A and B are shown apart, each in its own frame.
Chain A
């Protein structure tokens, strides 16, 4: 059983709103940069970058982060996860970095991402943008920009984000896991 929490139009509107919130909160795009967390965070971050280019007329520095090396559950895994490339081709020092992910859940991915960025330098600030905040945090982490907040997810339900770039459609879905 699947329920659509956000359809393609709603996702576009959410991203548009997030873009304006980012520019409002940071008073423009000066020293602003975007880092997408693998895998779907990359595509969301790219969409945000493109929208900001439309509004501000400039292309923000853009990076890709793979958090596998910084996970807190590596020692407990049965098999090793594949480590993919991190590619942050700009100096993070003194930057305002907007970290972009699809789903915010326990907050552990965000913790890992913050640690990973800190190992690259000392950004001025890090902000967090997510398409859906599904609640059930295990760490004191809150998003700065949220597409939709939906915390009524029960343990046997799964929130999944589908994006055109890799799934062929845009949707945020709530499904019962079997």
Chain B
């Protein structure tokens, strides 16, 4: 998201808006990417993102092949570059990759001719998540400019937070990151965001509250004394929502840890747009696949 311009982001969101209608019809398929092949290469667990990409590709009539680390040659010691080179010999048009190593998609893009989509690389970026988040914010709030957004949780390990910050700062938004000091990266303010350590302060007057889970697989739990203490201070409750703007929307990229960072009352409540985010994810990924497949490389 760091390298995308405001105009490019808006083109992606507008394109996604058109593609979302396809998913709402009886016949959920258009012939746009007929004959194209999309490989999803997932080195980290995922349900939402992988299924979302696969559905997006299928609704555009592309053929999809899913590879997950456990069942691939990576388990036999093949390097990522070799895996990429071998897959490319089978002439895919797009490779969607999720990897625990930051920069893995960037590295692959440098050695392969196929279009590469980053579906999350370590704690670096998760661009399609940020795009679907912006899409959802724009859908609910009509415009991104002027929005006040709180991002709460394990910011330091969160690629979702990073991509959202990069994306939101291309617009006239106010972004506040909230977490215990150990979960905030140093010099975060240099990205143009405000920093808060108290949930009550962070959510006050906000249009959007985005909650993040603790990234246990990246050592997130070691940043805090205990999950219980964390949730007593940073779990979003109805009382917090009342402090925000009247028509606040509550977002979460999933998976939810109910009772840890978000209470069930809020997650299932009237302000929650968590399931809208999932629906919009398919549309955004259709737009990404379409725009990347256009042209001969």
A69 touches B (CB below 8 Å): yes
Are B30 and A78 closer than 8 Å at their CB atoms?
Answer: no
Are A78 and B25 closer than 8 Å at their CB atoms?
Answer: no
A83, B32: Cα distance in complex, Å: 11
B295 touches A (CB below 8 Å): yes
A77, B293: Cα distance in complex, Å: 10
Are B30 and A70 closer than 8 Å at their CB atoms?
Answer: yes
B230 touches A (CB below 8 Å): no
Are A74 and B15 closer than 8 Å at their CB atoms?
Answer: no
Residue-by-residue, is A69-93 near B (CB-CB < 8 Å gives 1, otherwise 0)?
1110011111111111110000000
Are B26 and A121 closer than 8 Å at their CB atoms?
Answer: yes
Are B18 and A85 closer than 8 Å at their CB atoms?
Answer: yes
**Interfacial residues of chain B within 1-46, with CB under 8 A of chain A in the complex:** 11, 14-15, 17-19, 21-22, 25-27, 29-36
A120 touches B (CB below 8 Å): yes
Residue numbers in B under 8 Å from A156 (CB-CB):
none
Are B294 and A77 closer than 8 Å at their CB atoms?
Answer: yes
B34 nearest in chain A by CB position = A75
Residue numbers in A under 8 Å from B293 (CB-CB):
74, 80
Are B295 and A119 closer than 8 Å at their CB atoms?
Answer: no
A115 nearest in chain B by CB position = B31
Residue numbers in A under 8 Å from B291 (CB-CB):
80
**Interfacial residues of chain A within 104-128, with CB under 8 A of chain B in the complex:** 115-116, 119-121
Are B26 and A69 closer than 8 Å at their CB atoms?
Answer: no
Are A69 and B22 closer than 8 Å at their CB atoms?
Answer: yes
Known: A69-B22, A115-B31. A82 touches B295 (CB 8 A): no
Residue numbers in B under 8 Å from A83 (CB-CB):
15, 18-19, 287, 290
B296 touches A (CB below 8 Å): yes
Residue numbers in B under 8 Å from A81 (CB-CB):
294
The smallest beta-carbon distance between B276 and chain A, in angstroms, is 18
Are B296 and A78 closer than 8 Å at their CB atoms?
Answer: yes
A102 touches B (CB below 8 Å): no
Are A84 and B36 closer than 8 Å at their CB atoms?
Answer: no
| Size class of the B contact interface (CB-based, 8 Å) | 20 to 34
Residue numbers in A under 8 Å from B11 (CB-CB):
82
A101 touches B (CB below 8 Å): no
A176, B11: Cα distance in complex, Å: 33
Are B18 and A66 closer than 8 Å at their CB atoms?
Answer: yes
The smallest beta-carbon distance between B27 and chain A, in angstroms, is 5
A78, B293: Cα distance in complex, Å: 10
A121 nearest in chain B by CB position = B26
The smallest beta-carbon distance between A69 and chain B, in angstroms, is 4
A84, B14: Cα distance in complex, Å: 8
A87 nearest in chain B by CB position = B21
Are B21 and A86 closer than 8 Å at their CB atoms?
Answer: yes
Are A82 and B15 closer than 8 Å at their CB atoms?
Answer: yes
Are B290 and A84 closer than 8 Å at their CB atoms?
Answer: no
B291 nearest in chain A by CB position = A80
Residue numbers in B under 8 Å from A75 (CB-CB):
34-36
The smallest beta-carbon distance between A45 and chain B, in angstroms, is 19
**Interfacial residues of chain B within 280-297, with CB under 8 A of chain A in the complex:** 287, 290-291, 293-296
Are B25 and A120 closer than 8 Å at their CB atoms?
Answer: yes
A70, B36: Cα distance in complex, Å: 14
Residue numbers in A under 8 Å from B25 (CB-CB):
119-120
B11 nearest in chain A by CB position = A82
The smallest beta-carbon distance between A77 and chain B, in angstroms, is 6
Are B18 and A84 closer than 8 Å at their CB atoms?
Answer: yes
Residue numbers in A under 8 Å from B18 (CB-CB):
66, 69, 83-86
Are A78 and B295 closer than 8 Å at their CB atoms?
Answer: yes
Are A119 and B29 closer than 8 Å at their CB atoms?
Answer: yes
**A residues in contact (CB < 8 Å) with B:** 66, 68-71, 74-86, 115-116, 119-121
**Besides the known contacts A74-B32, A119-B29, 17 further A-B residue pairs in the complex with CB atoms under 8 A apart:** A69-B18, A74-B294, A76-B296, A77-B294, A80-B290, A80-B295, A82-B14, A82-B15, A83-B18, A83-B19, A83-B290, A84-B18, A86-B18, A116-B30, A119-B27, A119-B30, A121-B26
